[in-house]
Amino acid sequence: MNDRLVKMGGLCLIGAVAAFMAITPVHGAPRDPISHVLLLSIDGLHASDLEWYLADPPEGSALAYLSAHGQTYTHASATRPSDSFPGLLAMITGGTPRSTGVYYDDSFDRQLVPASGTCVPGAAPPGTRAQWKQNLDKTPFSGWLTIVDPTKLPRNPADCSRVQPHQFPQVNNVFELIHAAGGRTAWSDKHPAYEFTNGLSGTGIDDLYAPEIASCGGVLPCPTGAQVTTNSFQATMDYDDMKVAAILNEIRGLDHTGTAAVGVPTLFGMNFQAVSVGQKLDMTTLGGDKGGYLNADGTPSGPLQTALRHVDDSIGDMIGALRHENLLGSTLVIVSAKHGNSPIDPTTLVRLDPQKLIDVINAVPPGGLLAQLSADTGPLVWLKDQSKTALVVDALKAADPSKTGIDSTAAGGGVLWGDDLTAAFGSNSRTPDIVLLPVPGTVYTTAVTKIADHGSFYDDDVHVALVVSHGSIQRTRIDDPVETRQIACTILSSLNLDCGDLASQQVEPSTSLLSIGSAFGQVK
């Protein structure tokens, strides 16, 4: 850890340990007002992963420190479907797809026009696939940072203008509210498309740092023989280190580059990718190591244990920096995950070629009905002709399960559609026509290196870690069910801002996390 502390900002191990020991969690003890919130998403981190890690944490563990000075929620649920885009939106808007209108980072919108081709202002929109990830990058690029290519953005049928990422979610977010109240905001994530964190106003983020993870060492197109970052455990940890360095700069009152003095953000944070890759990647066919879990109990593999420790050390760097800058007492730290990954039990893994599912759908007369399929571990289906939905459902239920992966014992026979789907999500131009509930452990992929993914409604994808920590909070384990979307209200209430100003509250009200108001002596 010493080398990392030197590398990431010149802090010493003694300073980090002092941070861990500086505050005794005495309930009701005087505290500094909360003036900063550090939000960290450890993508893929299950509640069970955190429990395993904290059962025997390494000396000086930052996660152990945060848990000792915080509320640990053992039954926190991320969004359904479980994906990074709606997962982060839940944390910052307080909403699920019912209010945000965002189901996946690869979805469909019937009221938009494709990025390319003819667009006639005022004409009926044909609908288009709506992707919000590396597909939007302006290429070629070298040096990690790129920008969104406007020619790749879908278009508004009214005037054929481009729909920016921040214009796609249908509600505002905490970054906007904090920025409007005079606070500084910063966020770091994995694609330039995370510009969506700016919110509907387009002004929510003062400092966005989004190096493209789906590149080869920061270069696209990938040079011959080069390895994509997420096909390497080490490269992914190195990638996370760049964002950790940005957070350390921001804690010191600088921008993410460390070159301009701008003040410490009121709300800032990042996502970690190393744990997610540690869960999903099997490189044994290429002579490498296998991640994931060793058994149904969720014992992490060697690469996953390394990733967990690396993230823990990185958070330790942040805690040490907060202590060094005398900010620890005024900073609320929230650790959670946008989503989990499945399966945990390696014996349940079944890889299914998504083309088999596509073939079943497109075989329904008159043929070619599929508009968009987002499969991963919980297939979402959009059809070109919604009047054929019942026919497609019948075909899916009648098909060989080896082609569809459907769990016939699940609710609705493994197919959610019609009134049941509307009851769950409402109905708008983005709502899928069909959601499939596959046999747990099914991953729709042809990649032999992939042993897990996310997207489904099942616990492995949804049951995530959640810790809310501050020096004045007494260690508390909360077993009651909560949702990660409650993070948004928690952030605002801790800063004495009104959760009611979130537009999602009008559709699906939420509250600050259990006991957080009493812990701080304030309730919003």
Nearest CA among 348, 399, 398, 397 for reference residue 377: 348
User: Is residue 11 assigned to a domain?
Assistant: yes
Alpha helices in 122-218 (DSSP H): 174-180
- The answer to whether residues 21 and 70 belong to one domain is yes
Answer whether 376's CB lies under 8 Å from 453's CB: yes
| Close Cβ partners of 68 (under 8 Å, ≥ 6 residues apart) | 25, 475
pLDDT the model gives residue 521: 37
- 524, exposed or middle or buried, with CB in 10 Å at 0-12, 13-18, 19+? middle
Total number of domains constituting the chain: 2
Choose the final residue of a domain: 421, 444, 467: 444
- H-run or E-run covering 267: strand 267-272
| Close Cβ partners of 384 (under 8 Å, ≥ 6 residues apart) | 127, 368, 369, 370, 371
* R_g (Cα) of the chain, nearest Å: 22
Spatial separation of the C-alpha atoms in residues 381 and 376, rounded to whole Å: 12
pLDDT the model gives residue 264: 98
User: Is residue 326 assigned to a domain?
Assistant: yes
Spatial separation of the C-alpha atoms in residues 376 and 382, rounded to whole Å: 15
Q: What does residue 46 show for φ and ψ, rounded to 5 degrees?
A: -80, 160
User: Is residue 508 assigned to a domain?
Assistant: yes
- The answer to whether residues 339 and 359 belong to one domain is no
pLDDT the model gives residue 26: 33
Choose the final residue of a domain: 397, 418, 444: 444
pLDDT the model gives residue 157: 97
Residues in the chain with pLDDT < 50?
1-30, 516-524
CA angle 39, 44, 49 (to 5 degrees): 95
Residue that the structure tokens 């700016």 belong to: 198
Spatial separation of the C-alpha atoms in residues 65 and 70, rounded to whole Å: 9
- The answer to whether residues 278 and 295 belong to one domain is yes
Q: 272-289 pLDDT, tens per residue?
A: 999 999 999 999 998 999
User: Is residue 109 assigned to a domain?
Assistant: no
Nearest CA among 95, 105, 110, 107 for reference residue 171: 95
pLDDT the model gives residue 31: 56
Q: What residues pair up with 270 in beta bridges, in sequence order?
A: 40, 188
Nearest CA among 167, 140, 163 for reference residue 153: 163
User: Is residue 155 assigned to a domain?
Assistant: no
Answer whether 262's CB lies under 8 Å from 254's CB: yes
- The answer to whether residues 438 and 524 belong to one domain is no
pLDDT the model gives residue 33: 86
List the domain range (segments joined by +) for residue 436: 350-444
User: Is residue 107 assigned to a domain?
Assistant: no
Q: For residue 53, how many other CB atoms are within 10 A of its CB? A: 22
CATH of the domain at 90: 3.40.720.10
- The answer to whether residues 246 and 385 belong to one domain is no
0.85 exceeded by pTM: yes
- 82: helix, strand or coil: coil
CA angle 177, 207, 471 (to 5 degrees): 65
Residue that the structure tokens 């599929």 belong to: 370
- The answer to whether residues 222 and 302 belong to one domain is yes
- The answer to whether residues 480 and 362 belong to one domain is no
Residue that the structure tokens 């399966």 belong to: 343
- The answer to whether residues 223 and 357 belong to one domain is no
| Close Cβ partners of 225 (under 8 Å, ≥ 6 residues apart) | none
Answer whether 298's CB lies under 8 Å from 275's CB: no
- The answer to whether residues 178 and 326 belong to one domain is yes
User: Is residue 111 assigned to a domain?
Assistant: no
Show the tokens assigned to 515. 């006991």
The sign of the torsion formed by the CA atoms of 321, 6, 317, 454 equals positive
- The answer to whether residues 253 and 354 belong to one domain is no
- The answer to whether residues 250 and 356 belong to one domain is no
User: Is residue 377 assigned to a domain?
Assistant: yes
- The answer to whether residues 179 and 81 belong to one domain is yes
